[in-house]
Amino acid sequence: MVGFGGAGVMVLGAAVSGLLLLGVALLAARRVGPVTSYAAAGLVWSLVVIALVTLVPAAGPPGYLQPDEVQTACSFDYGGPAPDGFWIFSGGQRLLNTALFVPSGALLVVVAARWRAGWLLAPLGLGLLAAYSLGIEYAQLVLARIDRACDVTDLVDNVTGAAIGFALGLGLVVLLRPWRERTRRLVS
């Protein structure tokens, strides 16, 4: 069995995907403007980082779990048995789950504001972030060997983080005005 996991894999994955998406943003900046291209690349990168942090085994390669040790259902014990801390942040797993989704919510609003239908796309995107979190929890349940747990508390914390980011994104949109990029490019 080939081992896969640990903090090094997460950091390496974040660095490689960040560099690739930076290149994509540089190429797209000319077509859609720098604010939108960097925000879109940042949004995709934040989703990749979320997947790495939540789906890569935290303690390194997973071992074989006996059938009676495998979680068969998601925990609906709200606020349940979350660890006190995580290897990066000391504020606890709940704080990390919330903080992970804040950038995604904020960047989603900036990307959506580029288009006239942004007022419709942004709330739809927030729903998709909630679905993404639900998908992660389902994957953690199905892929029991990664030694992660499906928990409703994580889902609530993730959606809370996305909503906080969404609110912050509304403020960023006022400052960055991504909808003006196209107008400036057509005039010049």
Helices and strands (DSSP H and E) totals, the chain: 6, 0
Distance CA 27, CA 151 (A): 39
| Contact criterion met (CB below 8 Å) for 78 and 152 | yes
Residue 120 in 3-state DSSP? helix
More confident residue, 181 or 159: 159
What's the pLDDT score for residue 85?
Answer: 46
Question: Could you write out the three-class secondary structure of 98-110?
Answer: HHHHHHHHHHHHH
Q: How does pLDDT run across 107-134, given as a tens digit for each residue?
A: 999 999 988 898 999 999 999 999 999 9
Rounded to two decimals, what is the model's pTM?
A: 0.84
Segment 38-58 shows an average pLDDT of: 94
Structure tokens given for 132: 């993404």
| Contact criterion met (CB below 8 Å) for 55 and 146 | yes
In angstroms and rounded to an integer, the radius of gyration of the C-alpha atoms of the chain is 18
Contact residues for 76 (Cβ-Cβ < 8 A; gap 6+): 152
Segment 138-161 shows an average pLDDT of: 85
What's the pLDDT score for residue 2?
Answer: 52
Of 165, 132, 133, the closest CA to residue 152 belongs to: 133
Domain limits, the chain: 7-75+89-187
Segment 135-142 long-range contacts (CB within 8 Å, at least 24 positions apart): 136/50, 136/51, 136/54, 136/55, 137/74, 139/55, 140/54, 140/55, 141/71, 141/73, 141/74
